[in-house]
Amino acid sequence: MRTQVGIIGAGPSGLLLSQLLHLQGIDSVVLERRTPGYVLGRIRAGVLEQGMVDLLNAAQAGERMNKEGLVHDGFEICFGDRRHRIDLKELTGGDTVMVYGQTEVTKDLMDAREALGGLVIYEAENVDIVDLDGETPKLTYRKDGVDHEIVCDYIAGCDGYHGISRRHIPENILKIHERVYPFGWLGVLSETRPASDELIYVNHWRGFALCSMRSTTRSRYYIQCAFDEDLEEWTDDRFWDELRARLPNSVAENMEIGPSIEKSIAPLRSFVAEPMRHGRLFLAGDAAHIVPPTGAKGLNLAASDIHYLSSALIGYYKQQRTDLMDGYSEKCLNRVWKAERFSWWMTTIMHRFPDQNSFDRGIQLAELDYLCGSQSAQASFAENYVGLPY
Ligand code: FAD
Ligand code: PHB
């Protein structure tokens, strides 16, 4: 088989890229090692920046999001006994975010690919890249016991943090920057009315907590936990008790609780791999960078990478331009590092660190107090939260 762009991974990055290319008449094949059901079963991000909303609309995959997504003008930050609202719309001069789950984004992209007859091959085993140094790199894989090869012009590594693409950048070229946090997030999805109309981020001495949602009838909650926590030990009752202990009384007293429909633990990590291009291979999304979820930036960064990558490939195929491909890594990394900084900062001010002493706690509270008392600090916070321009 031959294609113009071979894409590894059918997460949001890979599907979005393939869809945007298709709409410009550029041919691609997506290889995914899991089944569609498995991909959709992963409960991840929930907050979309306007830039990502615009990109999904441009990809003709935004119809359901525009109907069912919830536009949020602000959110709350709680610490000590204080509740403070960050008014995103007011602080940014009109910008908002969209609450719409990654599962739904992925489903919409899968449907959009199918509607256009896009080729997405699921359960592709042993995916590998060969001849990356030549003119026509190839993707090899095994499906139903048969080996296959796809000859490509370019390869997009959209295969997430655990994928194989990154490994194809030689060790003497690839630089890794990393911070692993000494805690994780325990997340629960439940068919319950959200605790509040807006998201609530809580810094509590027992640990961080977050009240989020997927719709007006489905809630998503997180609590900070040990990084090596045993999920089996977290019964629903224990989770709800611990969550409520960290929330302001006014929220905890009235919130609806119910059985969990999903429960999982995510480690927290900051990670950047550079460069994001090596010859005919381009990395995008989690394959190149990870942020801790506190700033809701992971999925949104994947979208901005795809914006730059699709523009670069379209520039090449439509106008024989190579400058956008040459500038790809630098353009992405410029935005990535700013989102890394924001996510690291928000993680640092909102969590309880195991080695935190009274000085560290004092600094944390001073930072939160300053934020809530300063319009300019809040404006900077809001500007980053709604997403820096592409
Ligand atoms: P992925 O979604 O990881 O997609 C990569 C795809 O490649 C997967 O389908 C995978 O199966 C496939 N793949 C991997 N290896 C191979 C291979 N060898 N061959 C073929 N296919 C392969 N972000 C937020 O903004 N907010 C959050 O709350 C949030 N929570 C998260 C919770 C968890 C547990 C995780 C892991 C991430 C979370 N993120 C969150 C981050 C966000 O989900 C990611 O940034 C986003 O999924 C990135 O999309 P992607 O397409 O680049 O990678
Ligand atoms: C989510 O709803 O999953 C979510 C929302 C905001 C975050 C992280 C996760 O900062």
Q: Say if ligand 1 is within 6 A of residue 299 CB.
A: yes
- Please tell me what DSSP assigns to residue 51: H
The whole-number pLDDT of residue 81 equals 83
Q: Quote the distance between the C-alpha of residue 91 and its chain's center.
A: 24
Q: Say if ligand 2 is within 6 A of residue 294 CB.
A: yes
Q: How far is the CA of 376 from the centre of ligand 2 (A)?
A: 24
140 has a pLDDT exceeding 90: yes
The whole-number pLDDT of residue 381 equals 98
- Averaged over 106-125, what is the pLDDT? 98
Segment 129-138, tens digit of pLDDT: 999 999 999 9
- Averaged over 75-99, what is the pLDDT? 96
The whole-number pLDDT of residue 217 equals 96
Q: How far is the CA of 298 from the centre of ligand 1 (A)?
A: 9
The whole-number pLDDT of residue 250 equals 94
How many other CB atoms are there within 10 angstroms of residue 20's CB atom?
Answer: 23
Q: Say if ligand 1 is within 6 A of residue 158 CB.
A: yes
Ligand 1, atom 45, residue with closest C-alpha: 298
The whole-number pLDDT of residue 80 equals 86
Assessment of whether the complete model's pTM goes beyond 0.85 = yes
Contact criterion met (CB below 8 Å) for 216 and 70: yes
Q: Say if ligand 2 is within 6 A of residue 272 CB.
A: no
- For the chain, the distance separating the N- and C-terminal CA atoms, rounded to the nearest angstrom, is 35
* Sequence-ordered list of residues with C-beta below 8 angstroms from that of 110, at least 6 positions apart, any chain: 10, 15, 36, 40, 120
225 has a pLDDT exceeding 90: yes
pLDDT-derived band of residue 204, with 50, 70 and 90 as boundaries? very high
Contact criterion met (CB below 8 Å) for 306 and 55: yes
pLDDT-derived band of residue 314, with 50, 70 and 90 as boundaries? very high
Q: How far is the CA of 11 from the centre of ligand 1 (A)?
A: 6
Segment 53-66, tens digit of pLDDT: 999 999 999 999 99
- The rounded mean pLDDT for the chain is 97
Segment 321-372, tens digit of pLDDT: 999 999 999 999 999 999 999 999 999 999 999 999 999 999 999 999 999 9
What is the best residue among 7, 52, 159 to mutate for testing ligand 1's pocket, by most ligand atoms within 8 Å of CB? 159
75 has a pLDDT exceeding 90: yes
The whole-number pLDDT of residue 162 equals 97
| Ligand 2 atom with least separation from CA of 212 | 2
CA distances from 21 to 43, 195, 217, 306, 385 (A): 27, 40, 36, 10, 28
249 has a pLDDT exceeding 90: yes
Q: Which parts of 8-101 fold into alpha helices (H)?
A: 12-22, 36-41, 50-58, 63-68, 88-92
283 has a pLDDT exceeding 90: yes
Segment 14-47, tens digit of pLDDT: 999 999 999 999 999 999 999 999 999 998 999 9
The whole-number pLDDT of residue 320 equals 97
Catalytic residues: 72, 201, 293, 297, 385
Q: How far is the CA of 61 from the centre of ligand 2 (A)?
A: 21
Q: Say if ligand 2 is within 6 A of residue 46 CB.
A: yes
CA distances from 233 to 229, 230, 264, 276 (A): 8, 6, 12, 40
Burial code (b: 16+ CB inside 10 Å, e: under 16) for 363-384 equals ebeebbeebbeeeeebeebbbb
Segment 175-197, tens digit of pLDDT: 999 999 999 999 999 999 999 99
Ligand 2, atom 5, residue with closest C-alpha: 46
